Amino acid sequence: MPHERLRSKTRVQVQAQRGVGLIEALIAFLVLSLGMLAIARVQSDMRAHAELARQRTEAVRIAQQDIETLRAYSVLTSTAGAIWSYERAPAVEVSTE
């Protein structure tokens, strides 16, 4: 008789645990799915930030190019002004006596 009670208790425990493995698998699948969704969102955010960084880099490059052009223009203007004033300087006559 003690063996029958033990068997009946284990049957009740087995019947009570039936389906627990399926629930655990579903919860694990849910956690995995949420993790993959989070990774996908992070990847899309990183792609957007990379595009923004590329645009800013291009803007800085164009600005530096414009600044260099303006610097070269100011040097040419001052040089041209010096040449212009030199050409307008009064001529010095040299006598050949």
Each residue of 28-59: pLDDT tens digit?
999 999 999 999 999 999 999 999 999 999 99
Each residue of 57-76: pLDDT tens digit?
999 999 999 999 888 877 66
The confidence score (pLDDT) of residue 86 equals 47
SS3 for 1? coil
Q: To which residue do tokens 């068997």 refer?
A: 7
Residue 50, class by beta-carbon neighbours within 10 Å (0-12 exposed, 13-18 middle, 19+ buried)?
exposed
The confidence score (pLDDT) of residue 73 equals 77
Each residue of 2-17: pLDDT tens digit?
566 656 666 666 666 7
Q: In this prediction, what percent of the chain has a pLDDT beyond 70?
A: 59
Tokens in use for 59?
Answer: 């803007």
In the chain, where are the structural domains located?
2-84
